[in-house]
């Protein structure tokens, strides 16, 4: 069975220890480049997550790694998956994004979110208000960035952020699409309906994901937004092996976590991705948990990817 719509695949490499890969801090940069050299032949985009000290605390800063990748791989789109609004003053991030958009010749997708890692916030000295306030701050962050990208000069007066006669030159051309990550039903999905170009949900079970889609459709109807104009993406952590038993053995305790990954053989992954494509998702950002080994990525390329070409 082949895909009935065009589906793209991005690669989400580690920025450090996610607790699922076998990283060697001494060779991390070299290992990353070796794997990206392979991934660049098969994936249309690269995505970097935004944390400072999760898991075992070895982490590269998101924007620095993304810029390093942009300079080495000129064909892929570049995305953040996703940046915490609180970590960078939005007017500064607008300038950063405009600059990277110029250097990369328009390849940036700005993945953005309200943040969630309280321990990380506290350790780095950031306030950690309620989810409702963090989402409101995220929305203002998007509004002020778009003001800076479209006005010369820009003025924005919000509750949390303000700019007055601010220049962002060169303007990004085109302005980066804004992907909002998250699926909280009351406030976050409302923000997606009102402000996102792209959407990335975090729910893993298909029945829950269907409900999130219905909620988003409801918010779109309430706000007059065309649901079909929001591009749907999906990040999936993959334990892939020739047999299901081998894949599940590799995944181990991860299968029983709050956000269980996919663990199985290529045919099962193909069918799972086709099911998600039928729900409207047409870009999958994949995490291959065996990094820096590439046997799982090569298995995907050889036995799953052809079904979507």
Residue in this structure with the two tokens 């104009």, named with its chain if needed = 229
**Phi, psi dihedral angles at 151 (to 5 degrees):** -120, 145
SS3 43: coil
Domain 8-308 bears CATH identifier 3.20.20.30: yes
Residue-by-residue pLDDT tens, the chain, 309 positions: 444 568 999 999 999 999 899 999 999 999 999 999 999 999 999 999 999 998 779 999 999 999 999 999 999 999 999 999 999 999 999 999 999 999 999 999 999 999 999 999 999 999 999 999 999 999 999 999 999 999 999 999 999 999 999 999 999 999 999 999 999 999 999 999 999 999 999 988 899 999 999 999 999 999 999 999 999 999 999 999 999 999 999 999 888 877 789 999 999 999 999 999 999 999 999 999 999 999 999 999 999 999 998
Strands 154-157 and 108-113: unpaired
Q: How many Å apart are CA 178 and CA 200, to the nearest integer?
A: 11
Q: How many Å apart are CA 167 and CA 155, to the nearest integer?
A: 9
Strand residue runs (E) in the chain: 8-11, 45-48, 77-80, 83-84, 108-113, 154-157, 162-166, 178-181, 198-200, 231-240, 262-264, 281-288
Radius of gyration over alpha carbons of the chain, in Å?
19
Q: Is 32 exposed, middle or buried (0-12, 13-18, 19+ CB in 10 A)?
A: buried
For residue 86, which of 52, 119, 113 has the smallest C-alpha distance?
113
CA distances from 303 to 138, 170, 191, 308 (A): 40, 44, 38, 10
Let me know: does 297 contact 39? Beta carbons within 8 Å.
yes
Q: Cα 307–308–309 angle (5° rounding)?
A: 100
Query: What integer pLDDT is reported at residue 139 of this predicted model?
Result: 98
Query: What integer pLDDT is reported at residue 5 of this predicted model?
Result: 63
Query: What integer pLDDT is reported at residue 260 of this predicted model?
Result: 84
Helices (H), 73-205: 90-103, 118-123, 131-150, 188-195
Q: What are the sequence ranges of the domains in the chain? A: 8-308
pTM of the model: 0.95
Let me know: does 8 contact 283? Beta carbons within 8 Å.
yes
Let me know: does 308 contact 7? Beta carbons within 8 Å.
yes
SS3 235: strand
Q: How many Å apart are CA 55 and CA 88, to the nearest integer?
A: 22
Residue in this structure with the two tokens 């790694």, named with its chain if needed = 65
Q: How many Å apart are CA 147 and CA 162, to the nearest integer?
A: 11
Query: What integer pLDDT is reported at residue 1 of this predicted model?
Result: 44
SS3 151: coil
């Amino acid at each position: 069975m082949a895909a009935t719509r065009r589906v793209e695949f991005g690669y989400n490499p580690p920025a450090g220890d996610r607790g699922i890969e076998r990283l060697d801090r001494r060779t991390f940069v070299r290992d990353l480049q070796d794997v990206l050299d392979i991934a660049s032949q098969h994936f249309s985009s690269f995505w970097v997550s935004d944390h400072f000290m999760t898991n075992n605390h070895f982490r590269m800063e998101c924007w620095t790694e993304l810029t390093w990748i942009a300079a080495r791989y000129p064909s892929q789109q570049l995305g953040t998956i996703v940046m915490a609004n609180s970590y960078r003053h939005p007017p500064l991030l607008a300038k950063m994004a405009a600059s990277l958009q110029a250097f990369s010749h328009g390849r940036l997708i700005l993945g953005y979110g309200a943040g969630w890692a309280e321990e990380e916030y506290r350790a780095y000295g950031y306030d950690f208000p309620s989810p409702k306030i963090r989402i409101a701050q995220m929305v203002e962050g998007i509004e002020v960035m778009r003001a800076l990208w479209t006005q010369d000069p820009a003025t924005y007066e919000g509750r949390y952020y303000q700019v007055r006669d601010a220049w962002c030159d060169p303007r990004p051309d085109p302005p980066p699409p804004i992907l909002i990550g998250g699926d909280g039903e009351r406030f976050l999905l409302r923000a997606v309906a009102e402000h996102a170009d792209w959407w990335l949900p975090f729910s893993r079970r298909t029945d829950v994901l269907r409900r999130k889609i219905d909620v988003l459709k409801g918010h779109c109807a309430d706000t007059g937004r065309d649901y079909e104009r929001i591009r749907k993406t999906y990040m999936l952590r993959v334990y892939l092996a020739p047999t299901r038993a081998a894949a599940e053995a590799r995944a181990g305790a991860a299968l029983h976590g709050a956000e269980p990954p996919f663990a199985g053989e290529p045919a099962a992954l193909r069918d799972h991705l086709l099911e998600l494509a039928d729900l409207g998702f047409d870009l999958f950002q994949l995490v291959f948990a065996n990094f820096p080994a590439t046997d799982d990525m090569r298995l995907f390329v050889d036995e799953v990817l052809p079904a979507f070409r």
